[in-house]
Amino acid sequence: MQTELILAGFGGQGIMFAGQVLSYAAMDIGKQVTWIPSYGPEMRGGTANCTVVISDEEIGSPVVKNPDIALVMNLPSLDKYEPLVKPGGMLVINESMVDRSARRTDIKVISIPCSEIAEQIGNIRLANMVAVGALLSGLDVLTVADVEAALMAHMPGRHRHLLSKNIEAVHRGYEYAKAHAVVTR
């Protein structure tokens, strides 16, 4: 089984880190993984996205045209990636930064106020991990425990002091999505 993801937003929103954490989590449980970053013209404030492919078998191509799941942190990313999600797939929207709802009726949509939840935890920069938690609520190949273990094993040293807050953000996003934000269209 192969699962293809696209994570997208503005540079500085932690899109690449979110993709890396998902990749490490999958790799640590024995899956085949590709992670490909793509930056817009500016690192911070420009567009940023990455693709993650998780598979039980060797991955033939890391290119993702029609993802099973798209996580979008801003309106330009929603506009770009919503049409590409496979029918029956899932779209995670950071409703804190997006002023419209999804238009598709053939996908599962999770709308979650990532930024507000991150602020409640104490750091707006945790919005990416809140979104990852929401994504995990509909991702069969990884669990919250897998991502928690990946954060503990792979968090860069300069950010180790934020480990517990990142784990809390993943849990809060997952719980919110399970309780409130899942809309099956």
Model pLDDT for residues 94-111, shown as the tens digit of each residue: 999 999 989 998 999 999
Residues 6+ apart with CB under 8 A from 125: 14, 118
pLDDT digits (tens, 9 = 90+) for 155-169: 888 888 889 999 999
Give dist(CA 172, CA 118) in Å, integer.
Answer: 9
Q: Say which CATH architecture domain 2-184 belongs to.
A: 3-Layer(aba) Sandwich (3.40)
pTM of the predicted model, to two decimals? Answer: 0.92
Torsion of Cα atoms, 98 then 138 then 89 then 115, to 10°: 10
Domain ranges of the chain: 2-184
Bridge partners of 184? 108
Other residues' Cβ atoms within 10 Å of the Cβ of residue 105: 8
Asked if residues 53 and 14 have their Cβ atoms less than 8 Å apart, the reply is no
